[in-house]
Amino acid sequence: MRLLVVEDETRLAAALQRGLQAEGFAVDVAHDGESGLQLAREGSYDAIVLDVMLPRLSGYRVVQALRADENWVPVLMLSAKDGEYDQADGLDVGADDYLTKPFSYVVLLARLRALLRRGAPERPAVLSCGGLELDPASRRVARDGTEIALTPREFALLEYLLRRADEVVSKTEILEHVWDQYYDGDPNVVEVYVGYLRRKVDVPFGRRSLVTVRGAGYRLARDEG
């Protein structure tokens, strides 16, 4: 899943990026409201963590602009202001949740996962396909009742493919959502991780659900051959 963090406190932004990446998210960061709004408009994000007090454009203005564009990406606002009217203002302009500073990282992560689950009808609490089940909240993966241990990157790749089940997903799309849009390493890393996944979720179960579509990308098939 791909997240955008818009936070002008550079140490906090870096800490959030490291923590979220360790959980398997692809994370982009902006340090002012204008840059954040531009990235949000140009990128395809699954959720945004957005500070209220930002240089150049406030978090409130960023949310208002996104909603005016009919961009309904889930937004979790962060603010040092803890008054009830401040929280109400954030929600009234279109944010989905509001967290006051200082905050618990565990709580922030839980709220983000809640937003991702309920952010759109196609995001059920537990993702399933062809006997595969993935629970984003508990970080558990199982096939036919047998639990499977995955690394954070493998988990993120499988989660993205499950959310796009039966669709052909290009290598570029995978790099942008599972790594990030600025990844400049070897794009063949996608093939490597697809191979890792196959050896864990397909081969031991005699399945062939993770399909390579030559020249186009990959597809997680519901009815595998």
pLDDT tens track for 50-85: 999 999 999 999 998 988 887 888 999 998 766 565
127-220, CATH topology level:
Arc Repressor Mutant, subunit A (1.10.10)
Task: Tell me if 76 sits within 8 A of 48, measured CB to CB.
Answer: yes
Indicate if the pLDDT at residue 120 is higher than 60: no
Average confidence score pLDDT of the chain:
87
Rounded percentage of the chain residues whose pLDDT exceeds 90: 57
Mean pLDDT, rounded, for 5-9: 95
Question: pTM of this prediction?
Answer: 0.63
pLDDT tens track for 159-176: 999 988 999 999 988 988
The better pLDDT of the pair 134, 90 is held by 134
- Give ∠ CA 30-35-38 in degrees, rounded to 5: 120
Q: What is the DSSP string of 185-211?
A: S-TTHHHHHHHHHIIIIIGGGT---EE
**CB neighbours (10 Å) of residue 53?**
16
Which tokens belong to 13?
């932004």
Residues in the chain: 225
Domain boundary assignment for the chain: 2-118, 127-220
- The residues near 222 (Cβ < 8 Å, ≥ 6 apart) are 129, 130, 165, 166, 209
Q: Assess whether the region 2-118 and the region 127-220 belong to the same CATH fold.
A: no
Q: Mean pLDDT lowest for which of 84-93, 122-131, 191-200?
A: 84-93
- Give ∠ CA 21-26-162 in degrees, rounded to 5: 110
- At position 195, the amino acid (one-letter code) is G
Tell me, what's the pLDDT at 121?
39
Tell me, what's the pLDDT at 116?
85
Indicate if the pLDDT at residue 20 is higher than 60: yes
2-118, CATH topology level:
Rossmann fold (3.40.50)
Among residues 103, 210, 194, 127, which one has the least CA distance to residue 157? Answer: 194
